[in-house]
């Protein structure tokens, strides 16, 4: 059912191989450890690790850790866990751009010696002003013509901690009139007196992304450096460094379109805001589009990989419909999830013609198409719970569920008829008195058709559970499209509803992260952290059975 869409990078590498190149490919996934990975990263992970896997190459995991203040070990750990959970393993040790700080420093010195870099003392505002615009060339910094000796001495002082944050930067000396602004003497090093999670207090100057990325690729022998389209304009700079430095290899950068999903934000900055403001319960809240959130919601790793195959890899962007993600999810859960009956809004049913105290054990397969999973036992007694949505006192035509005088089949059991409706003082229905037809177990009743089937649990055996009904976090398709509106204004106030449900007894020992189809209701997953088998059951709604919310 899932068909892979085209992937131009894969096609390109196959063509390179036919031409006798790219025999040994090395890719890398280079997250910055400043947040959790999200669904967009999954696309990059599947692309990089997937190509290496398919083509017998290697994929490195390299933390792009050049902004110490925003990064942390906790993010590093979470990112590794998510990649492994997705089903991938990096080649060799985990790598860090910070492993290469000394080499990068030496290469910066090399550029200075070649007259290709200088220490500049313009402040940020002046620097912006000197840089020019798309239509106007920039002007040279007054520090641009410093001597090599002076630059070497200044840069050494920067490293030695002689200057405060922001006092000076090291810049490449390229072309202040270049049409591509990235080539107008870009910054190579900034002063930042900050503790680094890997290098401690060893450094108080940190290299820029541009000065770090390509050289790290070269050090690691990356052949195909795949990144998202916003780096297309940085490619000339990426190549400039590789050309002017004695790097050990010549990686090639290729850009592809980012994944954008409707009803979703995929920007670490915005996701972090949701966490920091307490709008969600953490990076792995089941409503978050993070890998950890999706996992906790009940997504399978396979469904995320299938989704990435389905959307393919192209050079131009677009917005992917979230229903494609749901499709991949349901497609996998249909096979993966065991069945269970769970009543979300319990309404008591008493079978007046069932002998008091009598218990019968019925059964049903754990999965209709997977005999090997065996059967679950379904105790049946005089008092049951059904879902109150399956009863209407004054039903419209074609309401094939329960109503006064109307019959319905209890799933895996008998046909019952509602004889009497019991209400409380407020006029609310609190109980139904019904009779069952003993001649209808596993067969149709004589002389009449019963169309509806509803689920139920035996009241005495029902196991209470907290069920969290999650919905989309945002109620509009493009929550962050309008730059003038705060994306938080589009939050869905009903993204979480918690109900106390009753479960069939087979769920008592469900393990954290076990996935189920609650029959007629949807797919659910035992919460990874709060569900305690036999003690406190907590289930998260993963997705409905059908496309119900595409409003």
Instruction: Give me the residues that bind ligand ATP (CB under 6 A), please.
Output: 30-32, 40-41, 43-44, 64, 227-228, 258-259, 266-268
Q: Which is nearer to Mg ion, 32 or 419 (CB)?
A: 32
Q: Which is nearer to ligand ATP, 231 or 502 (CB)?
A: 231
287 is an active site residue: no
Q: Minimal CA–CA distance to 41: which of 229, 258, 216?
A: 258
Q: Which is nearer to ligand ATP, 217 or 387 (CB)?
A: 217
What does 259 bind: ligand ATP, Mg ion, none (CB cut-off 5 to 8 Å by kind)?
A: ligand ATP
Q: Tell whether 199 is in a known binding site.
A: no
| Active-site choice (70, 139, 192, 258) | 258
DSSP 258: P
Q: Tell whether 454 is in a known binding site.
A: no
Q: Identify the bridge partners of residue 422 per DSSP, sorted by sequence position.
A: 431
372 is an active site residue: no
What does 212 bind: ligand ATP, Mg ion, none (CB cut-off 5 to 8 Å by kind)?
A: none
Q: Tell whether 38 is in a known binding site.
A: yes
Q: Which is nearer to ligand ATP, 176 or 473 (CB)?
A: 473
List CB contacts of 207: < 8 A, sequence separation 6 or more: 66, 97, 101, 104, 105, 108, 188, 189
State how far the alpha carbon of 544 is from the alpha carbons of 108, 240, 355, 435, in Å. 55, 51, 37, 32
What is the C-alpha to C-alpha distance for residues 396 and 134, in angstroms, rounded to an integer?
65
Q: Tell whether 455 is in a known binding site.
A: no
| Active-site choice (10, 32, 144, 334) | 32
User: Within positions 196 to 225, which residues make up the interface with Mg ion, using CB under 5 A?
Assistant: none
Stretch of 27-35, 50-58, 199-207, 247-255 lying at the interface with Mg ion (CB under 5 A): 27-35
Q: Tell whether 177 is in a known binding site.
A: no
Cα three-residue angle 302-308-312, rounded to 5 degrees: 145
User: Within positions 29 to 58, which residues make up the interface with Mg ion, using CB under 5 A?
Assistant: 32
398 is an active site residue: no
Q: Tell whether 403 is in a known binding site.
A: no
The distance of closest approach from Cβ of residue 101 to ligand ATP in the complex, given in angstroms and rounded to an integer, is 18
What is the C-alpha to C-alpha distance for residues 124 and 433, in angstroms, rounded to an integer?
77
List CB contacts of 415: < 8 A, sequence separation 6 or more: 407, 408, 409, 436, 437, 440, 445, 450
Quick one: tokens of 142? Answer: 């007054």
| Active-site choice (268, 338, 409, 515) | 268
Q: Tell whether 287 is in a known binding site.
A: no
Quick one: tokens of 178? Answer: 């270049």
The distance of closest approach from Cβ of residue 44 to ligand ATP in the complex, given in angstroms and rounded to an integer, is 4
Q: Which is nearer to Mg ion, 230 or 372 (CB)?
A: 230
Indicate the SS3 state at residue 302.
helix
Stretch of 24-32, 135-143, 175-183, 529-537 lying at the interface with Mg ion (CB under 5 A): 24-32
Output phi, psi for 404, to 5 deg. Answer: -50, 130
The distance of closest approach from Cβ of residue 26 to ligand ATP in the complex, given in angstroms and rounded to an integer, is 15
Q: Could you tell me whether strands 95-96 and 58-63 are parallel, antiparallel, or unpaired per DSSP bridges?
A: parallel
DSSP state letters, 23-58: SS-EEEE---SSS--BHHHHHHHHHHHHHHHHTT-E
The distance of closest approach from Cβ of residue 45 to ligand ATP in the complex, given in angstroms and rounded to an integer, is 8
Output phi, psi for 264, to 5 deg. Answer: -140, 145
Q: Do the Cβ atoms of 436 and 479 come closer than 8 Å?
A: no
Binding residues: 32-34, 38-44, 64, 209, 228, 258-259
Contact residues toward Mg ion (CB under 5 A) are 32
What are the residue numbers of the active site?
A: 32, 258, 268
């Amino acid at each position: 059912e899932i068909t892979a869409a085209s992937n131009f990078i894969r096609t390109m590498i196959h063509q390179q191989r036919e031409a006798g190149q790219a025999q040994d490919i090395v890719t890398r996934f280079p997250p910055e450890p400043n947040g959790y990975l999200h669904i967009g990263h999954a696309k990059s992970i599947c692309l990089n690790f997937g190509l290496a896997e398919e083509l017998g190459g290697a994929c490195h995991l390299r933390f792009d850790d050049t902004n110490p203040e925003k990064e942390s070990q906790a993010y590093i750990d979470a990112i590794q866990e998510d990649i492994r959970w997705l089903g991938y393993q990096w080649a060799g040790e985990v790598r860090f751009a910070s492993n290469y700080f000394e080499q990068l420093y030496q290469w910066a010195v090399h550029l200075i010696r070649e007259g290709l870099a200088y220490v500049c003392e313009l402040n940020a505002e002046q620097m912006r002003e000197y840089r020019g615009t798309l239509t106007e060339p920039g002007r040279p910094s007054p520090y641009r013509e410093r001597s090599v000796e002076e630059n070497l001495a200044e840069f050494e002082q920067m490293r030695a901690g002689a200057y405060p944050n922001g006092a000076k930067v090291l810049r490449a000396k390229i072309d202040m009139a270049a049409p591509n602004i990235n080539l107008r003497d870009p910054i190579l090093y900034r002063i930042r007196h900050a503790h680094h999670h890997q290098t401690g207090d060893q450094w108080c100057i940190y290299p820029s992304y541009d000065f770090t990325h390509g050289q790290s690729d070269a050090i690691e022998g990356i052949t195909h450096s795949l990144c998202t389209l916003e780096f297309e304009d940085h490619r000339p700079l990426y190549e400039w460094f590789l050309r002017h430095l004695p790097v050990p290899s010549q990686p090639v950068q290729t850009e592809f379109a980012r994944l954008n999903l409707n009803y979703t934000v995929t920007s670490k900055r915005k996701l972090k805001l949701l966490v920091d403001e307490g709008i969600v319960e953490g990076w792995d809240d089941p409503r978050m589009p993070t890998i950890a959130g999706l996992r906790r919601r009940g997504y399978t790793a396979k469904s995320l990989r299938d989704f990435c195959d389905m959307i393919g890899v192209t050079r131009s962007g677009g917005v992917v419909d979230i229903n494609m993600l749901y499709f991949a999810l349901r497609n996998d859960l249909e096979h993966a999830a065991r069945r269970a009956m769970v009543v979300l809004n319990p309404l008591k049913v008493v079978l007046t013609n069932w002998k008091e105290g009598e218990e019968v054990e019925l059964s049903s397969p754990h999965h209709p198409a997977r005999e090997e999973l065996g059967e679950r036992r379904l105790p049946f007694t005089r008092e049951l719970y059904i879902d109150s949505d399956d009863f209407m006192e004054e039903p419209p035509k074609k309401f094939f569920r329960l109503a006064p005088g109307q019959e319905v089949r209890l799933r895996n059991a008998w046909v019952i008829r509602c004889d009497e409706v019991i209400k409380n003082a407020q006029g609310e229905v609190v109980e139904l008195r019904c009779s069952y037809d003993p001649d209808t177990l596993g067969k149709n009743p004589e002389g009449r058709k019963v169309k509806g089937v509803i689920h139920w649990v035996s009241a005495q055996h029902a196991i209470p559970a907290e069920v969290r009904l999650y919905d989309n976090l945002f109620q509009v398709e493009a929550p962050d499209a309008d730059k003038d509106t705060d994306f938080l204004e589009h939050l869905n106030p009903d993204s979480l509803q918690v109900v106390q449900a009753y479960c069939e007894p087979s769920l008592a020992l469900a393990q954290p992260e076990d996935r189920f189809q609650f029959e007629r209701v949807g797919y659910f997953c035992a919460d990874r952290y709060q569900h305690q088998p036999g003690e406190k059951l907590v289930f998260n709604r993963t997705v409905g059975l059908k496309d119900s919310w595409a409003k």
